[in-house]
Chain A
Amino acid sequence: MYGGGNVFETMKATALADEDPILLAAFEARIDRGEKIEPTDWMPQLYRKQLIRMIEQHAHSEIIGSLPEGTWITRAPGFKRKLALMAKVQDEVGHAQLLYSAAETLGKPREEMITDLINGKSKYSNIFNYPAFTWADSCFISWLVDAGAIVNQIANSKGSYGPYCRALERICAEESFHLKYGHHCVIHLATGTKTQREMMQAAVNRWWAPMMHFFGPSDKISVHSEILMKWKVKMASNDECRQQFLDMYVPKIWELGLTVPDENLKKNTVTGEWEFTEPDWEEFKRVINGDGPCNAERIAVRRTAEERGRWVREALLAPKAKYVAPLA
């Protein structure tokens, strides 16, 4: 699961000054023609750097994202839910595996990426810094956070880097099952007993603000990234993704008798755009910079897992082996 809000490297005006203009022109022409760039092809340093950063953030989001939902595997009510949730969270970990391997084709080893995650150098999707208090929270994540991720990932799967696009296609196919599972869970709660309905509404109330943040800051205030759009690294703007999500899912939320905690939320019939209260971008910044309800806990869990598993990885170490092929 992953949304927008990518933290891209600040680009200097001179970033492309050292690149060979002929190679650069050929590279851009290939992208214009809709060709995919493969690991052994020539690419500008900036393209490589930004892609590593984006794919790495995506991979981290998958493993960190498995934590809030993972805590509900052992508490899922009934066999059907227990089995489905296990499979769902397992998929997320599998996505991380696919994505780390895609990023590795650009030259950064998995261990190094995980070290950067643990040290706080590398980011992940902000939404996982919020706690999943109840079963209904886990259902909200499975349905709507995954739905948001699909919007973003389908756009990115049309990008220019071959291994990332192929990984995303596989990921989206699995995410579509997650969405069905999550929707099924939410329907049961929203149309269930009074306790279940209240539990579901409380989850929507809790998760709405993080969900709006999920797609990243408004285009009005986010860093301009024309060159990343031109190179098909970033495929849709944060606002475009957010609008698409609202258009697809707000009616479905309302249909279940649930309310959305934003009295300004409505579709403008003239422009066709959704209007809403501007999300609190100061909070977004605060949380992404480490001061959210669960940042410390999420990283601590990951660090502990890494430390506890070190002896296993050392026992597997074959220093001469070199990984080259992407999984997708």
Chain B
Amino acid sequence: MNTEALKDLLYKMADDQLILGHRNSEWTGFGPLLEEDIAFSSMAQDKVGQSWQIYKLLNELGESDPDTVAFMRNAEQFHNCQLVELPNGEYDFSLIRHFLFDTAEMIRFNHLATSSYAPLALLAKKIKGEIKYHTMHANIWVKQLGSATEESIIRLQTSLDSAMPYALGIFESSKFEKELISEGIFRGEETVKSEWLTQVKSILEHTKLTMPNIETITPVFGGRYGKHTAHLQPLLDEMSEVFKEDPTADW
């Protein structure tokens, strides 16, 4: 087992879940309707919980404990894609991001459920059961708002266009694609991406939204290698504000 490759995969997935979970939790108290406050909070809890479990797998592989890993690293030590760190913006952007990201997550964890690394396969089976509801939620809302009023359609289209370059960044290749594929740990980003494109298009066909032409878009890469927008470090500073007052204390 190529442990270095495995850790790289686990880190980027855990970081994705933690950061998007954190962003989702920022909707608590601010949703466009109470039901959406509650839905985004549920997804936040799932995602933060999933990141915790993946950090525990890393801990078993010799990395620090999950609290230290999550609360004590700086932005350049995070491997999440830039899509998840962008501010929530208006509900249209949060919804589109959730739709694009969770569609990819569903495919990713479906694949990982048959990973040759048994602890990951076991966890993926659990996680995909949770993400199924995230994608159902996203699909219902995108179909509804993507076909409802002139304003809702324009808003979703604008967010879709602006999120797409970042969404393509989800699939940035790691240094270890070949090793992960050959060892049967993970089928690789390109495979996830190609299924993702099909599924995203199939949902958008039920709406008045237009799929951006991805051939002409430059994906925003760098997140997987520690390159981030200016939004990540302030998020991490806020997240660790209390924890860092005394990292050795029991809170």
Cα–Cα distance between A192 and B249 once the two chains are bound (Å): 7
What distance in Å separates the Cβ of B148 from its nearest Cβ neighbour in chain A? Answer: 4
A196 within 8 A of B: yes
Whether A78 lies near B38 (C-beta < 8 A) is no
B155 within 8 A of A: yes
B230 within 8 A of A: no
Seed contacts A87-B41, A135-B242, A135-B251; 18 additional CB < 8 Å A-B pairs: A63-B34, A74-B238, A79-B67, A81-B251, A82-B48, A90-B38, A93-B34, A94-B38, A193-B249, A305-B30, A308-B32, A309-B36, A310-B32, A311-B151, A312-B33, A312-B145, A313-B32, A315-B144
Among A10-18, A65-73, A263-271, A275-283, which stretch is in contact with chain B? A65-73
Residues of B near A66 (CB, < 8 A) are: 28-29, 37
Indicate whether A89 sits within 8 Å of B29 (C-beta atoms), given known contacts A311-B151, A311-B155, A312-B152: yes
Q: How many A-B residue pairs have CB under 8 A?
A: 133
Whether A83 lies near B91 (C-beta < 8 A) is no
Whether B239 lies near A75 (C-beta < 8 A) is yes
Chain B residue, CB-CB nearest to A196:
B249
B interface list, Cβ under 8 A from A: 22, 25-26, 28-38, 41-42, 44-45, 48-49, 52, 66-67, 70-71, 90-91, 144-145, 148-149, 151-152, 155, 235, 238-239, 241-243, 245-246, 249-251
Whether A315 lies near B251 (C-beta < 8 A) is no
What distance in Å separates the Cβ of B88 from its nearest Cβ neighbour in chain A? Answer: 11
Whether A188 lies near B250 (C-beta < 8 A) is yes
A272 within 8 A of B: no
Residues of A near B45 (CB, < 8 A) are: 83, 86-87, 90
Determine which of B28, B30, B90, B245 lies in contact with A195 in the assembled complex, contact meaning CB atoms within 8 Å. Answer: B245
Cα–Cα distance between A219 and B36 once the two chains are bound (Å): 40
A223 within 8 A of B: no
Indicate whether A311 sits within 8 Å of B149 (C-beta atoms), given known contacts A86-B41, A93-B38, A196-B246: yes
Whether A316 lies near B251 (C-beta < 8 A) is no
Cα–Cα distance between A301 and B48 once the two chains are bound (Å): 25
Residues of B near A304 (CB, < 8 A) are: 30
Indicate whether A93 sits within 8 Å of B149 (C-beta atoms), given known contacts A193-B249, A195-B246: no
Whether B71 lies near A77 (C-beta < 8 A) is yes
A100 within 8 A of B: yes
Whether B29 lies near A67 (C-beta < 8 A) is yes
A122 within 8 A of B: no
Residues of A near B144 (CB, < 8 A) are: 315-316
Residues of A near B31 (CB, < 8 A) are: 305, 309
A interface list, Cβ under 8 A from B: 63, 66-67, 70, 72-79, 81-83, 86-87, 89-90, 93-94, 96-97, 100, 135, 185, 188-189, 192-193, 195-196, 301, 304-305, 308-316
Whether A86 lies near B32 (C-beta < 8 A) is no
Whether B90 lies near A308 (C-beta < 8 A) is yes
- A-B CB contact pairs (8 Å), 29 listed: A63-B29, A67-B29, A72-B242, A75-B239, A77-B71, A78-B67, A78-B243, A79-B48, A79-B52, A83-B45, A86-B45, A86-B48, A89-B28, A90-B42, A90-B45, A97-B34, A301-B30, A305-B29, A305-B30, A305-B32, A308-B32, A309-B31, A309-B33, A311-B32, A312-B32, A312-B36, A312-B152, A316-B33, A316-B144
Determine which of B52, B145, B242 lies in contact with A76 in the assembled complex, contact meaning CB atoms within 8 Å. Answer: B242
Cα–Cα distance between A195 and B30 once the two chains are bound (Å): 32
Chain B residue, CB-CB nearest to A189:
B251
What distance in Å separates the Cβ of A197 from its nearest Cβ neighbour in chain B? Answer: 11
Chain B residue, CB-CB nearest to A89:
B28
Residues of A near B243 (CB, < 8 A) are: 77-78
What distance in Å separates the Cβ of A139 from its nearest Cβ neighbour in chain B? Answer: 10
What distance in Å separates the Cβ of A194 from its nearest Cβ neighbour in chain B? Answer: 10
What distance in Å separates the Cβ of B208 from its nearest Cβ neighbour in chain A? Answer: 12
Whether B34 lies near A96 (C-beta < 8 A) is yes
